[in-house]
Amino acid sequence: MSPERFARINQMLDNRQVDLTVCLDKVHMTNNIAAVLRSADCVGIYEIHAVWPDIDMRVSGNTASGSQQWVNTVKHDTFAQANHAFKAQKMQVLTTTFSDAAVDFREIDYTQPTVIVMGNERDGVSAEAIEAADQHIIIPMRGMVQSLNVSVAAALVMYEAQRQREQANMYGTRKLDHVYCQTMLFEQGHPIYANACRRKQIPYPAIDLQGQIVADSAWWQRMRAPDPQALLAKSEIDSTPDETLLIQ
Q: How far apart are the first and last CA of the chain?
A: 54
From the CA atom positions of the chain, what is the Rg in Å? 23
Amino acid letter, residue 127: A
Task: Please indicate if the annotation marks 148 as binding a ligand.
Answer: yes
Angle at which helices 191-200 and 178-189 pack, to 10 degrees?
Answer: 110
Size of the chain in residues: 248
DSSP designation for 45: B
Beta bridge pairs of residue 68:
none
The burial of 114, by beta-carbon neighbours within 10 Å (0-12 exposed, 13-18 middle, 19 or more buried), is given as buried
The answer to whether 32 touches 21, Cβ cutoff 8 Å, is no
Q: Whole-angstrom Cα distance, residue 26 to residue 99?
A: 20
What is the tally of helices (H) and strands (E) in the chain? Answer: 10, 9
* Distances from the Cα of 55 to the Cα of 4, 51, 77, 121, 241, angstroms: 40, 11, 9, 17, 40
Task: Please indicate if the annotation marks 96 as binding a ligand.
Answer: yes
The answer to whether 119 touches 90, Cβ cutoff 8 Å, is no
Binding-site residue set for S-adenosyl-L-methionine: 96, 139, 148
Binding-site residue set: 96, 139, 148
